[in-house]
């Protein structure tokens, strides 16, 4: 779906037709319109909003940027498939009543563990074939993941990304995948005038329900870039171990919040620092608390 509109936009702009893409949730809507929805009423509503400059177009990446995104997305698919195959093997072992030895029961599967799986004595032929096929799938996907990581690492050293990549990876917890995901998904950081807009795009800002003197901050907004948001939260868990200022702030927060809520606050602060170093072309400085 996204790919189709991307091709359509570039196809029409090449022939001189100006195109804008807007988020559907940004189009003004009334309760009457929600109860009586037709193509004609939708077209009229979008046309009126566009004529009054009430709609802000979303960012459309270049064809090169889109191609680089595809490589990162492919890695995500490989990682998901690999996780599914591993879960399939664990499920089969659980059904057969076979327990994984403590030394092998780790998130990262070693070659020794793969060898142990291949040497299992399973009497039922079909179960043995199923597990062997799953092990083969895991081996293939592990090689593909390694090869994809190598290509992404090579991409990070290209002229387009190298300088910014070095700056981003100076941030505690930010590695190859997080940095390249941000670089390819965000593109031009200068399209965000402020951190508030950048944070709104990522989705680490809380929802708000306020009226008069009553101000209520709710859960994180459902609108945002879920992939980058999840990566930043993972980085925050590492950052609180490496940056003394964030460590101190985290320990202050867990006195009044749960660890999960505290790490969301830390994630917001970490994202603010990433935005600053990206905007100012500087590297991360530890021990500075804002």
Cα-flanking dihedrals φ and ψ of residue 56, to 5°? Answer: -105, 120
DSSP secondary structure, 236-285, as one string: HHHHHHH-HHHHHHHHHHTTTS-HHHHHHHHHHHHHHHHHHHHHHT----
What pLDDT digit, counting tens, does each position of 222-244 carry? 667 889 999 999 999 999 999 99
Chain mean pLDDT for the chain: 85
- Least trusted range by pLDDT, from 7-16, 81-90, 92-101: 7-16
Whether pLDDT at 283 is above 60: yes
What integer pLDDT is reported at residue 29 of this predicted model?
78
Q: What is the pTM of this model?
A: 0.79
Residues in the chain: 290
Tokens standing for residue 280: 């100012």
Q: Greatest CA separation found in the chain?
A: 73
Tokens standing for residue 144: 């593909």
Section 96-123 average pLDDT: 89
What integer pLDDT is reported at residue 18 of this predicted model?
75
What is d(CA 161, CA 178) in angstroms, rounded to the nearest whole number?
Answer: 13
What is d(CA 267, CA 10) in angstroms, rounded to the nearest whole number?
Answer: 36
Per-state percent for the chain, helix, strand, coil, to nearest 5: 65, 5, 35
What is d(CA 204, CA 217) in angstroms, rounded to the nearest whole number?
Answer: 12
Give the side-chain half-sphere CA count within 13 A for 218.
6
Contact (CB, 8 A) for 100 and 106:
no
What integer pLDDT is reported at residue 1 of this predicted model?
44
- Least trusted range by pLDDT, from 77-91, 219-233, 259-273: 219-233
- Least trusted range by pLDDT, from 105-114, 158-167, 262-271: 105-114
Cα-flanking dihedrals φ and ψ of residue 147, to 5°? Answer: -65, -40
What pLDDT digit, counting tens, does each position of 185-204 carry? 998 899 898 999 899 889 88
What integer pLDDT is reported at residue 32 of this predicted model?
72
- Domain residue ranges of the chain, discontinuous segments joined by +: 2-51, 64-156, 162-207+224-280
Nearest-10 crossing angle of helices 226-242, 259-280: 100
What pLDDT digit, counting tens, does each position of 37-69 carry? 788 888 888 888 888 877 777 777 788 888 999
What is d(CA 95, CA 128) in angstroms, rounded to the nearest whole number?
Answer: 13
Rounded to a whole number of angstroms, the distance between the first and last alpha carbons of the chain is: 41
């Amino acid at each position: 779906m996204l790919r189709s509109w991307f091709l359509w936009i570039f196809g029409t702009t090449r022939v001189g037709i100006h195109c804008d893409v807007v988020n559907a949730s940004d189009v003004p809507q009334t309760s009457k319109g929600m109860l009586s929805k037709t193509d004609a009423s939708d077209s009229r509503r979008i046309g009126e909003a566009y004529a009054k400059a009430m709609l802000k177009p979303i960012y459309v990446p270049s064809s090169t940027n889109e191609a680089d995104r595809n490589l990162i997305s492919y890695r995500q698919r490989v990682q998901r498939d690999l996780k599914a195959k591993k879960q399939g093997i664990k499920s089969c072992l659980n059904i057969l009543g076979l327990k994984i030895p403590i030394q092998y029961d780790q998130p990262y599967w070693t070659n020794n563990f793969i060898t142990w799986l291949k040497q299992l004595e399973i009497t039922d032929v079909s179960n043995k074939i199923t597990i062997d096929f799953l092990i083969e799938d895991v081996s293939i996907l592990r090689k593909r993941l390694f090869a994809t990581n190598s290509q992404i690492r090579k991409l990070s050293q290209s002229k387009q990304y190298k300088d910014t990549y070095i700056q981003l990876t100076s941030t505690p917890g930010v590695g190859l995948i997080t940095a390249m995901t941000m670089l390819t998904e965000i593109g031009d950081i200068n399209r965000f005038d402020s951190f508030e807009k950048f944070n709104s795009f990522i989705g680490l800002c809380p929802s708000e329900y306020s009226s008069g003197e009553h101000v209520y901050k709710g859960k994180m907004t459902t609108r945002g870039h879920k992939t980058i948001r999840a990566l930043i939260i993972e980085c925050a868990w590492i950052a609180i171990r490496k940056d003394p200022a964030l460590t101190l702030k985290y320990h202050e927060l867990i006195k009044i919040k749960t660890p999960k809520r505290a790490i969301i606050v830390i994630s917001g602060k970490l994202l603010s620092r990433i935005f600053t170093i990206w905007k100012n072309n500087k590297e991360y400085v530890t021990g500075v608390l804002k």
